[in-house]
């Protein structure tokens, strides 16, 4: 995967960059997700994440990882395109794909100051919470835009277009 605007990196490339930024006082915020079919809910969420620190790192599930979490029909948009779309967003500083089911390795390697997930998670269910808190970091949840989810967009497409094909 190419680096777009210096924003897309693998974990081992990004770790020393973030360490240097932390040494200079930057607050690193980490969130993650599939970010398939980017919509207003994603934009609102990422803007809110960015407000909690200086640098927003987005862990992005690879196609394999999305399939582990969402099933064999997802993602709709392939990894390279999802990464480029996220990298094009002003509030996103870095995108780092990960192939595992969870971002645990990313979190423990990148050691963000703040870990954020959507309010559809409880603090007890957030992967990496104990580790982030162990090094003095903060774990937060952010309210999501109600009714805005990729699965809702897919369902609307099915209802509107597949029903007309019959």
Q: Which of 14, 9, 51, 7 is nearest to 29 (CA)?
A: 51
Q: Is the peptide bond preceding residue 49 cis, with omega within 30 degrees of 0? A: no
SS (H, E, C) 58-86: EEEECHHHHHHHHCCCCCCCCHHHHHHHH
pLDDT value, residue 109? 98
Chain centroid to Cα 119, Å, comes to 14
Superfamily in which the 11-165 domain is placed by CATH = HUPs (3.40.50.620)
pLDDT value, residue 18? 98
Do the Cβ atoms of 63 and 100 come closer than 8 Å?
A: no
Per-residue pLDDT of the chain (166 residues; tens, 9 = 90+): 545 568 999 999 999 999 999 999 999 999 999 999 898 999 999 999 999 999 999 999 999 999 999 899 889 999 999 999 999 999 999 999 999 999 999 999 999 999 999 998 999 999 999 999 999 999 999 987 676 676 777 776 777 888 765 5
Complete edge-to-edge strand list for the sheet that includes strand 114-118:
94-98, 55-61, 28-33, 114-118, 138-142
* Domain ranges within the chain, ordered by starting residue: 11-165
């Amino acid at each position: 995967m190419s680096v777009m605007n210096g924003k897309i990196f693998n974990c081992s490339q990004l770790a020393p960059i973030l360490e240097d930024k932390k040494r200079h006082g930057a607050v690193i915020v980490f969130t993650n997700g599939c970010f398939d079919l980017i919509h207003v809910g994603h934009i609102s969420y990422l803007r809110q994440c960015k407000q909690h620190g200086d640098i927003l790192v987005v862990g992005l599930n690879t196609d394999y990882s999305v399939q582990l979490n969402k099933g064999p029909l997802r993602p709709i948009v392939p990894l390279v395109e999802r990464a480029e779309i996220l990298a094009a967003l002003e509030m996103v500083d870095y995108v780092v794909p990960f192939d595992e089911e969870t971002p645990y390795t990313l979190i423990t390697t990148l050691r963000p100051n703040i870990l954020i997930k959507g309010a559809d998670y409880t603090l007890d269910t957030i992967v990496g919470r104990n580790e982030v808190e162990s090094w003095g970091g903060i774990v937060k949840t952010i309210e999501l835009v109600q009714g805005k989810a990729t699965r809702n967009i897919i369902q609307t497409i099915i209802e509107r277009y597949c029903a007309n094909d019959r």
